Amino acid sequence: MKIGTPLKKSATRVMLLGSGELGKEVAIELTRLGIEVHACDSYPNAPAMQVAHHAHVFDMLDANKLRVYIRTIKPDYILPEVEAIATDELVHAEESGIKVIPNAQAVRLTMNRKGIRKLAAEQLNLKTSRYKFASDETSFKQIIHDMGVPVVVKPIMSSSGKGQSVIYNFTKDEVSKAWDKAQQEGRAGAGEVIIEELVKFDYEITLLTLRHKNGTTFLRPIGHKQVNGDYIESWQPQEMSTLAWIRAKEIAEKITDALGGYGIFGVEMFVNGDTVYFSEVSPRPHDTGLVTIISQDQSEFELHAKAILGLPVPNINYNGPSASAVIKPEGESEDIEYSNLDEAMNEKDIKVRLFGKQDINGKRRMGVVTALDEDVDKALEKAKKVRNKIKVEL
């Protein structure tokens, strides 16, 4: 395996499709290894673009444009970081010899909740909640009536809770609002939705699963809190029973083996006692995994960068109980300032990341605080304390 020199003929090039805060951390780790990074997204000055060698702004759902940029950049690797991508072009790229991470078929399946749920439940026989798909409002209402409430509704392509609703009462108003939200906020616009039974669970986890040259490594389970489907806090480790932990690893191994390829996979699961339900999987770093910035000697982003390049990961050292708390203000602005950082960061064993997003319209994740302490409760309390001291001026 060779790595060339950035901006030279020998350069090893990575094309990052999606340039948000997670992509930014991946870009930083890749540049540390001498990789030439091309950050792509549908809007200018995205977080990863601010640290990459080159930035490209175009609609990644436009197959023709994506094809042109792939041919122009001539990447050695393509890293999809968002769902809104013309995945057929990734298949063509892979056929031409470009390495798509983890592979084109895995990207196609995981970008679409229908594909990954059918793989998990119908082919691998993993335990999941009951689910149905609807492509029009009439069938949507009938499915909810037949399944019964409460149910969770999501577009088959979305992330960070966009387009997601929980229906507790079968009323015309509540059902119609959920349908409209899913149609308006899906990554690829209006289309099919998934309706899932809201299973009873004690907690939910993300099990970061690393497929790499040396095999498969499971990081300690990450617990997290979501509001409207969007992560706001996470901690590592999440306490689990021995049997639940064994079952979680079995699920993660089965789904990631089926997808194949190298890199970090964020496997989301619900846990009720010793019972574990598969929920979703992302073939890339996970937002709840931001906690690994402080909890390990190698974050999920560094591990992802090494794994996709085919580099060995012989060991990962755990630093101790850790937590993360998101900086998520609300308002409207195109020029954001952060203050009181000197007071906020006057705390031991913390790290702060400000993502550099240039605008806000409503609520938006603008940064994160991670903290290390003697147990996860104290770590989370510290992370929130520091987060609350940081002032966001819109």
Residue that the structure tokens 């992509």 belong to: 23
According to CATH, where is 3.30.1490.20 located in the chain? 130-197
Question: Which pLDDT score is estimated for 188?
Answer: 61
Whole-angstrom Cα distance, residue 376 to residue 203?
15
Question: Which pLDDT score is estimated for 189?
Answer: 62
Q: What is the rounded average pLDDT of the residues 200-207?
A: 96
Catalytic residue among 12, 110, 128, 159: 159
According to CATH, where is 3.30.470.20 located in the chain? 203-393
Question: Which pLDDT score is estimated for 191?
Answer: 83
Cα dihedral: 367, 30, 291, 209 (round 10):
140
Whether 268 is catalytic is yes
Question: Which pLDDT score is estimated for 225?
Answer: 95
Catalytic residue among 36, 192, 196, 287: 287
Question: Which pLDDT score is estimated for 172?
Answer: 80
Model confidence over 259-286: pLDDT tens digits? 999 999 999 999 999 999 999 999 999 9
Whether 393 is catalytic is no
Catalytic residue among 21, 89, 196, 268: 268
Q: What is the rounded average pLDDT of the residues 235-252?
A: 98
Whether 159 is catalytic is yes
Model confidence over 43-81: pLDDT tens digits? 999 999 999 999 999 999 999 999 999 999 999 999 999
Catalytic residue among 161, 191, 229, 356: 161
Fold assignment, 130-197: Dna Ligase; domain 1 (3.30.1490)
Whole-angstrom Cα distance, residue 204 to residue 196?
16
According to CATH, where is 3.40.50.20 located in the chain? 13-100
Catalytic residue among 280, 300, 302, 373: 280
The yes/no answer on whether domain 13-100 falls in CATH 3.40.50.20 is yes
Question: Which pLDDT score is estimated for 139?
Answer: 93
Question: Which pLDDT score is estimated for 354?
Answer: 98
Q: The whole model's pTM is what?
A: 0.93
Catalytic residue among 211, 365, 370, 373: 365
Whole-angstrom Cα distance, residue 186 to residue 320?
37
- Chain mean pLDDT for the chain: 95
Catalytic residue among 288, 292, 295, 299: 288
Q: Where are the alpha helices (DSSP H) in the chain?
A: 21-32, 63-73, 87-95, 104-110, 113-117, 137-147, 172-185, 242-259, 292-295, 300-308, 341-344, 376-389
Whole-angstrom Cα distance, residue 55 to residue 34?
17
Whether 223 is catalytic is no
Question: Which pLDDT score is estimated for 9?
Answer: 97
Q: What is the rounded average pLDDT of the residues 303-323?
A: 97
Q: Evaluate the CA torsion angle 207, 212, 217, 220 in order and state its sign.
A: negative
Q: What is the rounded average pLDDT of the residues 125-153?
A: 93
Q: What is the rounded average pLDDT of the residues 14-22?
A: 98
Whether 287 is catalytic is yes
Fold assignment, 203-393: D-amino Acid Aminotransferase; Chain A, domain 1 (3.30.470)
Contacts of 142 (CB under 8 A, 6+ apart): none
Residue 117 in this model has a pLDDT that exceeds 70:
yes
Whether 356 is catalytic is no
